Structure formats: structure tokens, C-alpha cells
Amino acid sequence: MKAIQLLCLCTTSNIKEYGIDAVLKPFMTDLKKLEEPNGHPFTINGSEENITGSIAYTSADNLGAQLLGGFKESCSANKPCRYCLATAEEMKSKFHEKEFVLRTKESYNIQADQVQKYGEHFSKTYGINRKSILTESNYYHVVDGLPPDIMHDILEGVLQYETKEMLKNFIKVEHYLTLKILNDRIAKYDFGYYNDTNKPSPITEAKFSSNDNSLKQHAVQMWCLATHIPLIIGDLIPLENARWILYLKLLEIISLCFAPVISKDQVAYLQVLINDHHHKFRELYPECSIIPKMHFMVHMPTATMRMGPLVRAWCMRFEAKHHYFKKLSTVIGNYTNLPFTLAMRHQQWLCYQLQSANHESGFLEKGVEVGPGSTFCAGDLDYYNLLEEQEFGIDQTTNIT
């Protein structure tokens, strides 16, 4: 997390007033210098080096990604997806990527130009509000540079949604268990040493009966609960139960989406699993809607093929970075020009980290790492005579490590 650098802090009110492109304009000016053929000269450790660079991808939740890409930010828009031209109705009935017309860099640029020229009609038709300033990059484009975020789409979206609907059926319809039994088992279950801070919170009746799609668990809590729930309540559920089988299929999807390494065959299998899962979900839960995050899952296999495992591009570490600022704002208690205060405090903290590194490994250099060693008396070494000749002040009793 220490390697995550701060680019900008900006209030929502300023973004609404001036637009996100105005905020990113200084960044894009610097980026163009890095993208030049010879890069940009930097002085590093007293010597000048030319450094080149560009944007690899952008991690963001769906609202942030849509804003950065210039797409419609509302899930109720006619074309709410940043990957394809699916309508809101098509997203609820088609679950394979080949059934949609995918966005391309060329089509995006043409459509964005038409939106800028002709206005609202084309904006609704294409699901684009404006041409993103990020498209000015020579190498990066918002069409393939805004991957679906598995933390927001799965852990805080689809997984909570289906877990809640499944448990409601098991408790209120099938009567396999009660909410009290579930919470008692969660409380007594050993999630392991590494999950001490990730244990799911109790599922209250208010959470369980709410009209939203969430169990009010944090992302890591939901991940922890879902991966262990077969062991927590599996003995109470008939193995042939269709909703239980569907849930296990969702866990298989999650295991592939969160895998640090994945093969091409597994990516193809993932596409099949997602398609089958969504069709079966609509059949088993006819009263439940297909939420947009379920549609975004349809595009995850292609994003994986293009960028590699999506767990490398998720928002989890950036959310942890955000926690630093949230906690700091509470501690400071000063809300006058809060972005400036937080940015200043962060850079002061960064300076301290750099000054106190003491040659240890950090994001700037590898540092000096000393492994296990042994201590000998100089006189016991085969080459002691050579050391003695060099007049290092070493005698036979000197300890050498």
C-alpha cells in the first residue's frame, strides 16, 4: 500500500462544477511528455535518464469508471454498459458476450464526436456523455482500459445479492435452518488465523429483511463468509437442492475470477459458467431482477484475456488507501479545505517514509537485505594468511560474519 502514490484529491462538488476532465488535464499534460518517443528526462541519483510511460489500466468502481470514460453514469440509462451497446432490457435476458455489439476504440471515437456535435439524441443512443480526456493518450483508451472490478461487482454486488436470496429461501421457505442457527454457527466457526479481522458480522433481521441486495458485509467479510458457508451450513442443506448447486457454481466462478494465475482454457470455462449461472438464476429466482453487476460479469472473461487475472487490477488495495484518508480526516477534525489538508499530510508522511527507510526495501529501491549468516574466528579460515597480509587489523581471534 505504501507504493500507491497520490495524484489528486478533489471534492465531488468541484467535479460536478468543473468536470473530471478539468481535474485530469494537468495529469494528461505530464503523461504526453512521458509518451514521447524519447520519454522525459529525469535526474536520478545524480545522473539524467529518459523515462517513458503510459497508463496500463484504471481501477475504479462502476460509477467512477463510467465517469472517467465519459459513459452514462446511471444504471437506468438506455445503454448503461461501458463494454457493449446492450440496452437495459437486453442485459436482463442475454448472458453471453457474443450476443452483444461490443464497443471498440474506433466506434467510441466516432460516437463521442457525434455526441459533441449533435448533443442529447446521440448521447442516449450510444450511452456516452462526452469524449473522455483519457483518450488523448497515445496508448491508452477507455474502451479497453477500464476493467470490471471484481471487488465491487462480485464481493459487494452479485455475491451478497445471491447469498441473501438463497438464505431467505432456506430460512423462510424451506426451513432448513433459522437466522439464529446461522448466526450461532458463524460466531462459533473457526475461520482461521488469517481471517481474524475478516470475520463476517452477525446478520440481523433488519439486514435480512431489507429491500436492498446487500447483507451489509464489507467485501473481505463477504468473501470470507461465502468461501466457508458450505462448511458452516452444508450439513443442513440437501445436496440436490437447485439453489445450493447454483450457489456452488457461483463460488466456482469466484475462484476463477480471483485466481492469481489462470489459463486460456479456464477463461473459456469461466465464460460458460457465467452464462449457465445467469440463466439458472433467472429460472430459480423469477421474482429477482438481473442487476447490472451481473451483466458486467459477462465481460470478465474477455477482460481477463486482455489484461490477465482481474485480481491484479481490483480496487481492494486502493480502498485500503482510501481508509487512510477517511481515518485521517476524522482525527484532524478540520474540514476547511479538507483536500489540501489531507494531501499535505499524506506527502509529509511519504517524506518521513523515504527519509527513515535506512536502506530498507521500498518502492524506490530494493534496499539491502541480509539473510541468515554464521560467525567464525578469523584464525579458523583457510585464507587467514591472505587477510593478515592486507593489514586489516585482523588477528586470529577476530570474529568475522
Which tens digits make up the pLDDT trace of 48-74? 999 999 999 999 999 999 999 999 998
Mean pLDDT of 107-127: 93
Identify whether residues 132 and 98 lie together within a single domain: yes
- Of 249, 284, 312, the position where a domain reaches its end is 312
Mean pLDDT of 5-11: 93
- Of 146, 174, 201, the position where a domain reaches its end is 146
Q: Specify whether the CB–CB gap between 320 and 119 falls below 8 A.
A: no
Full residue range of the structural domain in which residue 126 is found = 12-146
Identify whether residues 118 and 197 lie together within a single domain: no
C-beta pairs of 10-19 under 8 Å, 24+ apart in sequence: 10/339, 11/338, 11/339, 15/67
Identify whether residues 138 and 157 lie together within a single domain: no
Query: Is residue 93 in some structural domain?
Result: yes
DSSP for residue 401: -
Q: For residue 194, give the nearest of 164, 227, 162, 217 by alpha carbon.
A: 227
Q: Specify whether the CB–CB gap between 232 and 183 falls below 8 A.
A: no
C-alpha cell at position 301: 472473461
Identify whether residues 104 and 174 lie together within a single domain: no
Q: How far apart are CA 386 and CA 378, in angstroms?
A: 11
Number of domains observed in the structure of the chain? 2
The predicted-structure confidence for 145-162, as pLDDT tens digits, reads as follows 999 999 999 999 999 999
For 137, how many CA atoms within 13 A lie in the half-sphere containing its CB?
25
- Of 255, 287, 312, the position where a domain reaches its end is 312
Backbone φ/ψ region at 127: left (φ over 0), alpha (ψ -120 to 50), beta: left
Identify whether residues 109 and 155 lie together within a single domain: no
Q: Specify whether the CB–CB gap between 182 and 95 falls below 8 A.
A: no
Identify whether residues 69 and 164 lie together within a single domain: no
Identify whether residues 102 and 181 lie together within a single domain: no
Query: Is residue 4 in some structural domain?
Result: no
**Is residue 362 predicted with pLDDT exceeding 70?**
no
pLDDT band per the 50, 70, 90 thresholds, residue 386: confident
Mean pLDDT of 79-94: 95
Q: Specify whether the CB–CB gap between 35 and 53 falls below 8 A.
A: yes
Query: Is residue 333 in some structural domain?
Result: no
Question: How many other C-beta atoms are found inside a 10 Å radius of the C-beta of residue 29?
Answer: 10
Identify whether residues 225 and 299 lie together within a single domain: yes
Identify whether residues 203 and 228 lie together within a single domain: yes
pLDDT band per the 50, 70, 90 thresholds, residue 120: confident
Identify whether residues 63 and 167 lie together within a single domain: no
Identify whether residues 250 and 284 lie together within a single domain: yes
Query: Is residue 267 in some structural domain?
Result: yes
Q: How far apart are CA 150 and CA 171, in angstroms?
A: 28
Query: Is residue 344 in some structural domain?
Result: no
Whether pTM exceeds 0.75: yes
Query: Is residue 394 in some structural domain?
Result: no
Identify whether residues 239 and 222 lie together within a single domain: yes
